[in-house]
Each structure stands twice: as structure tokens, then as C-alpha cells.
Structure 1
């Protein structure tokens, strides 16, 4: 009798284990974030090339390249009178996107200098400060492969109110780029510090309502930092 009871218990426990193994888990891990590749900006780059077909390219110009902070710099030509400029900023782009398209938005112009801004979108998407620095290194190497010794300036990643939580990473990324720039004949243009208030927080009056993009006052600070470098070329 005891042997029969024990055997019945073993059968019951085995059935429970089988049922548990076949029951799908309700706590599945979320899928990893999808990181869009650079090809998503093909339409923007094609539009630049179409404009090039209508307007003769200007060798010896200064190319401003990077994310939406460059694209939306509508006063660029007025801010640097007498300087031949080409704006090749495209919204939402990351550092590596400018590298991906460098042969189409930098090299064809044979510029006398490049002013670069990107990085905050990268950090917002989860890139580390070290990766941002390494991505910028790749950009420098790519454009200087076509034009050895090309003067390049990196505008520091700005402190945006809407992304204030990222400030520690912004500071680290800027510091890493600055250290690299010092040893590789790249200009580091510090707009980060002038855009902070006395408490070390982003100055909201320098931004439009989204707390991410600059208004005229914000671009005035950028102009004041970039102009001396351009004048010294």
C-alpha cells in the first residue's frame, strides 16, 4: 500500500513538472532597442547632391556638418560675412552618420576647413562617451584621408535643458574629444561652459520651446566661439 502511494505521488509530481515546462513564461525580456543605420538619411544626402547639380560647387569653402543644430543655423551666412560657407547638417544624425556620408557631403567640396557638431543624439540613443569620441576619431580620419591636414573643429556637445539628465555623459564625451583634439591638430570649440548658468545648469533662454534646439541667442554664443577659429585659418 505504501509503495502504491509513493508511486502515485511520483507520477503526480512528474505531471506537474511537465505542465510547468510547457507553460510559456509571462515575464519575457523586452527586445533590444533598434538602432537605425545611417542609410535612413539617404534622402537628405540626395537632396544635397541635387542642389550641387544646380549650383556650382565652391572649392575652398568652410563646410559645416552634423546634426540639426547645424541644419537649423539659418543665420550662418550672416554670422560669418565674407566667408564662403556650405551647410551640410541633417536633422537627427549622429556622429557616425557624418562619417558614413563624408565622401558625399565633405570631400567633394575640397573645403579649406570643416566645422563639426554632433553627439547629443548619440548619447540620447545610448552611445557611451567613449563611443562618441571614437566615432569622431573615425570622422577625422575619413575626411583627412581625402585631404591630409584638413583643419577640423569640433563644437562641444551643448547642454540642452530637455536632456539635462545626460549632462554627466555630455561632460565626459566633451572631455574625451578635447583630449583627442589636443594631440591630433583638431580644434575643440567650447560652447558648453558659456551655455551654463551660475548653478551649472543649461540656460533655458538660449533654446526654443523644445529645450533642445537653439534660438538666436544660442547661436550668438556659438558664433562668438567659432568666429575666432575661422579668422585664424
Structure 2
């Protein structure tokens, strides 16, 4: 089956995939395809959850639907065969379940190749989903004429347009075939881009970058990065016949090659982001009376920080996904040539994903605060309370406990204050969604307006 040793993690994942496959195959013909899609999304999400797949860039997800999600299509590892010969495509199922269903409550419509005559399992499985079907490279039945293929392609356009006009998201790989991570991406074809360009108001295209879905999860981490959405008009493409179309597709494909390469070599040590922060520090000419913001994505994504604090000399040292231990690890190297007047922290939120107790997270925050004070005894230190979020709704009690522990430090440490934030984002135990992005985790512009006002009040005291 495969030469490498299969470990329990892989076996558990395969077992969950087989369970999903069997349950879908048992659904009666009378069931609606939307029910099938939702059931599949729930089952596949459950299969992926224990793997803790790294998903970056959820802050880029648009609020509205009618979106085209494109992705680089990867092979499956041969071990993950759920039928006699059939494999569930891990990457597209992952996107439908862990991104679309999770954030939009709708798995969307995928574009799937037609089954070959001998692929009975493939045909029976995908017929239940009512996805849009197309002919794929190397998967066209013998005897089909070019006229038949053209007619099918026209049907694809009509169905895809109808889905988008009904505010349903599309999931599509522009390559028309799958590849290994090290070969990805393949050549992008025009179809989906011509479709997008045919709309008077072009739909947003959201690139999803995937690596390692062709490998065993016990040996390589599955990774996914959601890139900022774009419209083809940004590339000068205003119609399907635009003479800028080929150039645009080539550029998008080159971007993908770069993104995949970056995601492959990135690791949990945040080396790339730390390198960018060090460049930012070097380029900061005025380092007098600095107010340094240091923390995870809540800091990193504060794009208008300089405009929000015109009377302060601010420096944003946020890096996405930061844990307390990673902030501790990089503190000395980042702050080596700095002497900040104030340091504003946001930390602890990502540590909730590590399964640590509130006491351990609170203690780690306290240790870092004391470490910062030891280096900068004259600096004022603030910590923004961990915010509630839809993404971490099941851990609100733990978040409250951590915030309480950190708040208690204010009474014993004269140089430290916590900036209350949690209570402003929750009312009657309900999270105020109007302050969050579509991913239910990161702040939107309204959320940053609120945070700005709270931080400003502290700095003005």
C-alpha cells in the first residue's frame, strides 16, 4: 500500500474518512443534495479536527457570499482509500467543511470531474452532492467528441452562473488535475477566470493555498492559507475576451507558486514574520518615546495604528499566531535596540488552542510581563484583555478566568495595567458579532475603533 510506517494518527484519520464515506453512501436517493453536503461537511470537519490543521489568513474571508474560491489541487496519499479504489479528495472536502461550512454555514458548490465508466464508487458518491461536473484532463471517456465536451462546458458556465447569482460560493481548482505539493501548482486554465470576467459586477476570487495534503499527517502538517480576495478587473480584465486575460492568469499562477513555496518552508518558529519585524525596526528612524504594540494577530492586523495614535510614536510588532512562549522567545532579539516608553501587549488567545489551563496561561503572561519589566524598569506595561470570539465561544469561561488572573496583577505590580476589552464585546452572555470579521475571530474596523478608544484612554491617564 505504501512504504512508510503507518501510525495511529493516520489510522484514526482514515477511519474517520471511511465513516464519512459510508454514511454518505447510505443516504437514500430521496434526500436533498443540500442535506448531503451539510452532513458530509460535518463528518469531514470531525475527521480533520484532531489533526489541528494550520489555517492562516481567515481574516481575509469576505463577509458576503457569491465568492469563487480557487485552490491548488493536490493528490491524495494512497493510504487514504475509503472504498475499493475510491479516495475522497482531501483538499476540496477540507475547504468545504473547515472553511465554507464553518464560516458561512454552507459548504458551497464544488466543481467535480465526471466519473469514468469504470469508476462506480466515484459516480455514486458524487451524484449525491449535485455538484457541477466537468471533463478533466486525462479523465475524458473514450469516444466523446469535441462537440459533446463543448456542450458540457457550456452547461458548466450556465450552472456556475446560476449558483453565484443565488449567492452560493463556488469551489474550483483552475488546474484541471491534481499534483504533488512539490510540483504544485499545475498550469491554470482559463475556464473559471472567463466565468468571473463575464459578470458585470465581477465576483470576488479568494485564493486558498494548500500544502502537504498529499502526505501522511503523522509526518507532515497539513497547511492552508487564505489569501486576500481580488477581482479580475484589478488585473485589467474586464471581459472574457480581454487581451489581458492570459497575462492575468499567468501572474496569478506565479503568485501561487510563490505562496506555496513560502507555506512549505514556513514553520511554527515564525522566522519569516520575525524577519519582517526586524526590518521594520531598522527602518524606524525615530525611536524616541516609543509606544510598542507587541502580540498576535490582534496587533498585527491593526493597520491604522499610526493614524489612530497621531500623538504617540507607535511601533507595531505583531505577528500572527503568536503564543506566549514565542513572544517570550523573540522578545530579546526584537527589543534589543529599543527603549520603549510604553509596551502594549495582546497575548494568551492563541494559547487556548494548546489545551493549557487558565492558571498556566495566566502564569505565563505574568512571567513575560515581569521579564519585560526587568529589561525596561521605567516602561509602563499594558495588556489588552483577551477578547471573546465566535471561534472560541466554548472557552469563554476560561478566557474570563485568564483575564481575572491578569487583572489581579494590576494590584500587585505598580508598572502594569490591564486594558479591559472582553466586557465591551459581550452582552448578556452573547458575543457582539458586529465587532468581528467573517471568521468570528479577528476584529473588523468597528472592533478596532472600539479598541483604539480603550487603549487611548489608558495612554492619556
Q: TM-score range by the shorter chain?
A: 0.7 to 0.9
* CA offset digits 1:68-113 (Å, max 9, x no partner): 0100001111111211000000000012221111112234220000
Residue of structure 1 equivalent to 2:243? none
Deviation at 1:138, TM superposition (A): 1.8
Q: Write the deviation string for residues 39-94 of structure 1: whole angstroms up to 9, x where unpaired.
A: 61122112222233344351320000000010000111111121100000000001
What does residue 191 of structure 1 align with?
Answer: 421
Structure 1 residues 57, 107: closer, same or farther in 2, change over 3 A?
farther
Gaps of 5+ in 2: 1-7, 13-49, 53-220, 222-266
The answer for the alignment partner of 1:97 in structure 2 is 326
Q: Between Structure 1 and Structure 2, how many residues are aligned?
A: 205
Corresponding residue number in structure 1 for 2:282: 53
Structure-2 separation of matches of 1:53 and 1:75: 20
Which residue in the other structure is 1:113 paired with?
342
Cα-to-partner distance string for 1:186-205 (whole Å, 9 max, x where unaligned):
111111001112x2221111
Counterpart position of 1:213: 442
Counterpart-to-counterpart distance in 2, 1:99 and 1:196:
30
1:144-189 Cα distance to aligned partner (Å, 9 max, x none): 2211142100100000012100101000111111112321121111
Name which structure has the greater RCO, CA cutoff 8 Å, separation 6+. Answer: 1
2 CA distance for matches of 1:201 and 1:127?
24
Structure 1 position 33, deviation (Å): 8.2
Q: Which has the higher helix share?
A: 1
Q: Normalized against structure 2, the TM-score is what?
A: 0.42
2:375 maps to which of 123, 146, 165: 146
Per-residue CA deviations over 1:97-150 (Å, capped at 9, x if unaligned) read 211111122342200000000111101221211111111112112212211142
CA contact (8 A) 2:269 2:326 kept: no
The separation in 2 between residues aligned to 1:109 and 1:43, in whole angstroms, is 21
Q: Which of 310, 317, 335 does residue 88 from structure 1 map onto?
A: 317
Matched, 1:181 2:410: yes
Task: With the length of structure 1 as denominator, give the TM-score of the two structures.
Answer: 0.80
Runs of 4+ in 1 over 6 A off after TM superposition: none
Match status 1:79 vs 2:308? yes
Indicate the residue corresponding to 1:164 in structure 2: 393
Give the Cα–Cα distance (whole angstroms) in 2 for the partners of residues 179 and 45 of structure 1: 31
Which of these two proteins has the greater Rg computed from alpha carbons? 1
